[in-house]
Amino acid sequence: QSTVYLGFDPQLQREVAIKTWHFNMQDPAQNAVLLAEARAVGKLRHPNIVPIFDAGEEAGKLYLVFEYVPGQTLASFLEQSGALTPVKAVFILRPVLDAIAQAHARGIIHRDLKPSNILLDENGTPRVMDFGISAQVNAPDDTGDVYSGTPAYMAPEYIVRRECTERADIFAAGLILFEMLAGRRAAEGDNLFQILHRLAN
């Protein structure tokens, strides 16, 4: 769905992360919705959220410019470390929950909270990134049968009824906590249907 590049801002002399989206068809209305969400996310100020510096369109394609944060994702960290101690897991999750709580207070749902969307910077501080498919709280979901997010971290009510509220992020955070403590995903399966079935039931 997207590609992320390491870029350089010549005006402010800093490295940045540039994310571009790849859709099957160019859709100005879809771009307008995503840009509106980017503006909302861009207003978030929290030490555990990777900020958006800029957003726009180039040749009909949407791009976002983020702060570049050296480090690794929580997913990569867990691949190397395996299961974590409860103290370490809570140390990582608590700032993530603080960041998500602030987003919820501003009416923003992440909708794709997962270990690969949590960066651990060079000091080990967790930073939530990629609010790219976030949605305004209580905004209508017109996606029909199309899922937004990562199946292994979806909430049951979203799988069954496409209901997306702040609770979906909290559920995803619980799945992340399980994964940190157990060293494996809570819902595993050989295919998409098995994963969704286990989460929904």
What residues are annotated to the active site?
112
The dihedral sign for the CA sequence 140, 143, 147, 149: negative
Distances in Å between the Cα of 17 and the Cα atoms of 55, 58, 63, 135 are 12, 16, 10, 22
CB 100 within 8 A of CB 113: yes
Q: At what angle do helices 74-81 and 166-182 cross, to 10 degrees?
A: 20
